[in-house]
Amino acid sequence: MANRPRKQFFILVGLIILVFLGGTGIWFWIHPATHSVTRQTAVRTWHGIAHDAHVSAQQRHSTKTQFDRETTSQTAPKLATKVTQQLKAKHFVGTALVVKNNRVVYQRAFGWANREQHRKNTTTTPYLINSTQKALTGQLIMRAVQDDQLSLNDHLSQYYPKIKHSRTITIRQMLNMTAGIYGTVPQSRYLSERAVYHQAATHAKIDTTKIGQFDYQPIDYTLLAGILHQVTHQSYYQRFYQQIVTPLNLNHTKFAEVFRHSRTMTVSYTGSRPGLYQTPHIPAAAPLATRVGTGNVMMSAGDLFRAERAVIQGKLLLNSSGAQTLHQAKSTTAHYTGGLYHLGQSGYYGHGLRDNYEATFVLSRNGKTGVVFLSNSFTKATMWPTWSTEKTAISLFKQVDQAQHLN
């Protein structure tokens, strides 16, 4: 019996590889622009992520929590009615979660995860969280700092000396996106994790006139993931599972590179507004691979809330005060720190858009109260800003956070 989990794992990996290489499952046949990828690189990446996921699953318990259940009227019926009306007015498709003092007061799923399969969204449906992942990468960096593997004051030149002007910027500035770095990683073909970091370093440039100024550039976090890889000698995926997914028992968190081939993948949809389900879309493998550390994780609303709460509270650090350092909690002028936007003195928030998914979370400074909206029907080109629920989430958070009692 002891060998059963190991046997099941190899059977699972074998099936994944067969799906990956055969028929309509092979992504470089579906996406001819990336057909030059080698099968060896793709399979090796898949195998590595699948192995890390399997090891994590064996170490987690599967006990259901309040974040797995729908909650719409029992706790705060008036609030539930108001939130439902607001989201329906936005034609919202996805999952909405509201938490007050660590208690779920509202959670409901809307619309379809896959219209063609007649499969609805649920409270445990995973969505691509896009840029909100950066706060989790910031957490991994801070843990490495506490493990004495690097320092926030280290200069980029210590890890990527070939980048011009890299001696002038620090890891802290990269975490806050005030390093003046810009550039993009080519997405025309599938890249291994190491190749992504190499390409990021090759294409990264530093505008010295922007050092010290906020300039949102995802490549900051790609390079941070690369630095993490250098100092830990582990893949980002392994580190993510070991230090975030496993200790928090996040049972509805997946990496999109693997999940995109699953029959239960959450499909996204285009349209002039949410809920029209005009064109189904599954994110392409090559771009997803380049977003390591910046936007290739899929999570349920409950998992995202629990992860960001742990980050804010420092629960995953050796010393919880490190969270205050990472996010510069005492600052009255900070705008973006460690992957989180500051919402005045009341909290933090994150927002991400890509591949027709929209993700928003807003949490209080103590991490006990928050709002999470995750959608699989939002196309920025045709729906922003009219149909976005980002401002709705922030407004709702302020109301819930300030209320003494909810009814």
**Domains of the chain, residue spans:** 67-407
Higher pLDDT, 14 or 67: 67
Confidence (pLDDT) at 202: 98
**Kind and range of the H or E element at 259?**
helix 256-259
Q: Single out the residue of 154, 135, 129, 155 nearest to residue 327, CA to CA.
A: 135
pLDDT at position 30 is 45
Q: What distances in angstroms separate CA 359 from CA 126, 243, 363, 388, one per listed residue?
A: 11, 22, 13, 10
Given this model, what pLDDT does residue 46 score?
84
pLDDT tens digits for 342-376?
999 999 999 999 999 999 999 999 999 999 999 99
Per-residue pLDDT at 335: 98
pLDDT at 43: 80
Q: Helix count (H) and strand count (E) of the chain?
A: 16, 16
Residue 22: pLDDT above 50? Answer: no
* Helix/strand/coil percentages in the chain, nearest 5: 45, 15, 40
Of the listed ranges 69-73, 166-170, 285-289, 389-393, the one predicted with least confidence: 69-73
Q: Is the pLDDT of residue 273 over 70?
A: yes
What is the Cα–Cα distance from 165 to 156, expressed in whole angstroms?
A: 9
Provide the CA 42 distance to its chain's centre, in angstroms.
Answer: 22
Question: Is pLDDT above 90 for 12?
Answer: no
State the greatest distance between any 2 C-alpha atoms of the chain, in Å, as a whole number: 63
**Distances 16 to 25, 114, 260 between C-alpha atoms, Å:** 10, 21, 11
- 10 has pLDDT over 80: no
Say whether pLDDT at 19 is over 50: no
Range with lowest mean pLDDT among 5-14, 197-206, 222-231: 5-14
Is residue 98's pLDDT more than 90? yes
Q: pLDDT-based confidence at 215, cuts 50/70/90?
A: very high
Which class would CATH give 67-407?
alpha beta
Q: How many CB atoms lie within 10 A of CB 282?
A: 18
Looking at the predicted structure, is the pLDDT value of residue 18 above 50? no
pLDDT grade, residue 74 (50/70/90)? confident
pLDDT for 27 beyond 50: no
Is-contact 236 139, C-beta < 8 A?
no
Q: What is the mean pLDDT of residues 300-328?
A: 98
Dihedral over Cα of 17, 23, 24, 28: its sign: positive
User: What phi and psi, each to the nearest 5 degrees, are found at residue 322?
Assistant: -60, -25
- Give the whole-angstrom CA distance, residue 160 versus residue 197: 10
pLDDT at 2: 44
Across the range 204-227, mean pLDDT stands at: 99
Q: Quote the pLDDT of residue 161.
A: 98
- Is pLDDT of 88 > 50? yes
Separation of first and last alpha carbons in the chain:
51
Cis omega (within 30 of 0) for bond into 385: yes
* Token code pair at residue 182: 């810009």
Average pLDDT, the chain: 92
Span 115-142, average pLDDT: 99
* Lowest-confidence region among 68-77, 166-175, 179-188: 68-77
> Residue 20's pLDDT is what?
45
Quick one: pLDDT band at residue 387, thresholds 50, 70, 90? very high
pLDDT at 14: 53
The mean pLDDT value for 192-205 works out to: 98
